[in-house]
Amino acid sequence: MAGSLFRGVGGRLVTEGIADARGFLLGRKTYDIFANYWPKVTNPKNPIATALNSRPKYVVSRSLDRVTWNNSSLIKRDVVAELRKLRQQTGRTVHTWGSSDLLQTLLKNDLIDEYRLFVLPVVLGSGKQLFGSGTVPLALKQVESVTTGKGGTYHRFERGGKL
C-alpha cells in the first residue's frame, strides 16, 4: 500500500530528492538494502539508479569491515567528527534515506540542515520515534509542502535557528 503512495507526485518528489543529492549517508541496514538492489538497476534512464550508483556513499557502521558498492566509503570510528568534516566540504549536499539509528546521531549532534519528510496516511500502531530523546531543539522554517493524490504529504523544512 505505501508503495502506491509514491506514484505520481510522490514518485516525482522522491526522484527529485535523490537527483538533488551529491552524496548519500547511509546506516548499515539501509546500505545493505540499497547495495543489494540498486547496483542491479542499470537502466541509464532511471535517475534514482543513476544517482545512487554513481555518487559517493558514506556508510556508518560498527559491524561492517568493508563496503563494496561503487563509490562507497566506510565510517567506523568517531562518527560525529567524520560527519562534521564531511559537512564542511564545499559543494557537498549529502542526503540520508532511512537509517533511523544514524538519524538519531545526526539529530543529537545538530548535523541536519534541511528536513524532507514524507507523511503517509497509514497507522502502524508502533515504531521508532523520528525525533527521539536527546534531539537538539531547533526552529524550522517550512519552504515547501505538497499533498499527493493518494493523501500523502511531503514537507521540506530549513533551519530557522535555535529555540
Q: What is the pLDDT of residues 14-67, one digit of tens each?
A: 888 888 888 999 999 999 999 999 999 999 998 999 999 999 999 999 999 999
Q: Residue 10: pLDDT band by 50, 70, 90 thresholds? A: low
Question: What local confidence, expressed as pLDDT, does residue 91 receive?
Answer: 66
pLDDT value of position 90:
64
pLDDT at 6 over 70: no
Question: What pLDDT sits at residue 34?
Answer: 95
| Number of alpha carbons in the 13 Å side-chain half-sphere of residue 19 | 9
pLDDT surpassing 70 at residue 2: no
Write out the three cell numbers for 147. 499533498
Region 114-143: what's the mean pLDDT?
Answer: 85
Nearest CA to 5 out of 162, 157, 101, 149 is that of 149
> Is 80 exceeded by the pLDDT of residue 72?
yes
pLDDT recorded at residue 92: 65
Nearest to 64 by CA among 14, 115, 33, 28: 28
120 vs 6, higher pLDDT: 120
| pLDDT at 8 > cutoff 50 | yes
Please count the CA atoms within 13 angstroms of the CA of 3 that sit on its side-chain side. Answer: 0
CATH numbers and ranges of domains, the chain: 2-161 (3.40.430.10)
Residue 70 to residue 120: CA distance in whole angstroms: 32
At 15, give phi and psi (nearest 5°). -60, -45
User: How much is the pLDDT for 101?
Assistant: 87
pTM, to two decimals: 0.84
